[in-house]
Amino acid sequence: MVIDMLWALIGGTVIGFLGKAAAPGDRDNIPLWLTVICGIGGVLIGTWAYTQFFDSSTGGVDWWRHIWQIVTAAILVMIAAGLTGRRR
């Protein structure tokens, strides 16, 4: 359980930084720390949602689970951008 949370923190941070790199400057209207939080939330919620529909005990790299995590993080970033009210 502790290892899973550690991987969620690491993976979410990486997803958050990659998301910020994909939309630099004025294309992204939320701060870096909030993007990283959304990345961590995306990993946690995306993994939970994935395990509700699919078998979570796969061998090797589970690419579909990672896609769910990234899409969930992107949705959280859109929600955060709408709620924070920062304008360009």
Q: pLDDT tens digits, residue range 18-28?
A: 888 887 666 66
CA–CA dist 85, 43 (Å, integer): 24
CA–CA dist 88, 83 (Å, integer): 14
Residue 60 has pLDDT above 80, yes or no: no
Q: Is this prediction's pTM over 0.75?
A: yes
Tell me which residue range forms the domain holding 61: 2-84
Which residue has tokens 């701060």?
31
Number of domains in the chain: 1
